[in-house]
Amino acid sequence: MSELSAVYRETAEQISYNVANKVLPMAKLPDGLLTAYQSLCAELLEDREGKFSQAWASLPASARNLMEQAAFHGFYIANAWLQLSRVAQEISEQADTDGEIQEQEYNGIFTRLADESLKESLRKLKKARTDRSMLNSFKQVMAP
């Protein structure tokens, strides 16, 4: 993805924080988890493989017109964070009994979750075109 403006980055990060904070109290996250969240945010904003920007560009205009790209990017990042948090909890519970998970497996899980999160976010945005309650839910969860 091309270099993001400071406003774009700030908007995406704020929306991501707002959405994630509705589910997990972000102010109470341990430092390690907060660092992991910030790393995820930076990586998904960077969009090295261009998956987000390609997906956004391929959306129908009626879906893209529902919200700013930066706001949707933030929603997607939060969705990925919430999914990753859930799976990380399951992995840590399994690690106690099954031994350590391989780093390579973890990276594969992260990539798969990020891809699934993007697909789910896109599906929700497309649905919001005709489902007013879905659009209202987007707005509600993105608000501070």
Average pLDDT for runs of 10 along the chain of length 144: 84 95 87 86 94 96 96 96 81 56 60 91 95 93 91
**pTM > 0.75: yes or no:** yes
What is the distance between the alpha carbons of residues 1 and 27, in angstroms, rounded to a whole number? 30
Predicted pLDDT of residue 87:
77
Predicted pLDDT of residue 52:
96
User: Which helix (H) or strand (E) is 77 found in, with range?
Assistant: helix 69-98
Predicted pLDDT of residue 142:
93
For residue 8 the two structure tokens come to 């774009």
Q: How far does Cα 72 stand from its chain's mean position?
A: 9
Token pair 């990042």 is at which residue? 77
Q: How many residues does the chain have?
A: 144
What is the distance between the alpha carbons of residues 13 and 71, in angstroms, rounded to a whole number? 9
